[in-house]
Structure formats: structure tokens, C-alpha cells
């Protein structure tokens, strides 16, 4: 299914907005965060957060490993998805693109972390296929 009103093709990253936020906050701690991708598919919202894995490979990494450090972000993403009656996906990746782990979040406990999920190990080609389907609004 082709997009009805497609946006422009993404050709490069734009960090200018994040840089401006950092400058405006002038070192102040914030409770805000960015969301990597948001889609409305067949009337249902889907939120995708990309999680770069630096010290643990994507198949072995999980937000619960560092819940104490970033729980507010994941709880907020979950709450947004719930408020929108949508879905939350997390995609672990690494620089060399050899491993990906897709996590569909189905439940979160503020103290315990992600309590219900569907995890799928992906190759680069599988991750591309999944993301293109999402982008083209063809994902369930």
C-alpha cells in the first residue's frame, strides 16, 4: 500500500533540534526525551524507539538490564503508547549491523521493568524488511 501523503525521503540525520534543546537547557536536567519514530497505521499509533547497544550485543541486551538508569524514558514511552491506544516497539542494534533485536512491549511495571513482550532476533535484511513494512503502513 503506497502512502497517501508521503513525506520527503530521509537522506541525512538532523541533530540540530537536539543541539538546540541542549543549548536552551544550559546544563539543566530534563525529564524530556525524543522519540525516534511515530506512525499512524490504519488509525492505530505505533511508536518505535531505537536502542544502540555499545557494550552488550543486541540479542543479549534488554532495557531491564539498565532499568534503574533509564526507567523514566521507557515508562513514559509506554504511557504515551497506552494513551494513544497504540503499540510500542524497541529495536536493539549495533554499529556493525550484524544483530538486531525487536521487542514489542506488551506490559511494564514501574519497579520491575518490562514484564510482557514479544522478542524477535533479526538480521540486517530482516530488520530492513520489518521497518519498510512499518514505514509503508503494512505491519500488524
Residue pointed to by grid coordinates 536502542:
51
Q: For the residues 42-60, what does the mean pLDDT come to?
A: 93
pLDDT digits (tens, 9 = 90+) for 73-125: 999 999 999 999 999 999 999 999 999 999 999 999 999 999 999 999 999 99
Strands (E) across 5-123 are located at 37-41, 44-52, 87-93, 100-109, 113-122
**Domains of the chain with CATH codes:** 33-135 (3.10.310)
Q: From residue 69, how far is each of 2, 26, 64, 75, 126 by CA, in Å?
A: 40, 22, 10, 12, 30
pLDDT at position 80 is 95
> Higher-confidence residue: 57 or 15?
57
> Higher-confidence residue: 15 or 50?
50
Which residues, other chains included, contact 23 with Cβ-Cβ below 8 Å and sequence gap of 6+? none
Amino acid at each position: 500500500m503506497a502512502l497517501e501523503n508521503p513525506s520527503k525521503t530521509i537522506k541525512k540525520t538532523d541533530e540540530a533540534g537536539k543541539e538546540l534543546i541542549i543549548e536552551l537547557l544550559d546544563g539543566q536536567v530534563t525529564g524530556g526525551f525524543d522519540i525516534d519514530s511515530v506512525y499512524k497505521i490504519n488509525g492505530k499509533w505505533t511508536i518505535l524507539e531505537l536502542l544502540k547497544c555499545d557494550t552488550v550485543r543486541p540479542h543479549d541486551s534488554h532495557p531491564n538490564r539498565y532499568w534503574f538508569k533509564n526507567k523514566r524514558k521507557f515508562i513514559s514511552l509506554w504511557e504515551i503508547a497506552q494513551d494513544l491506544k497504540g503499540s510500542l516497539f524497541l529495536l536493539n542494534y549495533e554499529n556493525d549491523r550484524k544483530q538486531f533485536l525487536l521487542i514489542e512491549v506488551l506490559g511494564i511495571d514501574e519497579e520491575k521493568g518490562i514484564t510482557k513482550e514479544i522478542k524477535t532476533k533479526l538480521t540486517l535484511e530482516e530488520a530492513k524488511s520489518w521497518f519498510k513494512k512499518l514505514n509503508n503502513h503494512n505491519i500488524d
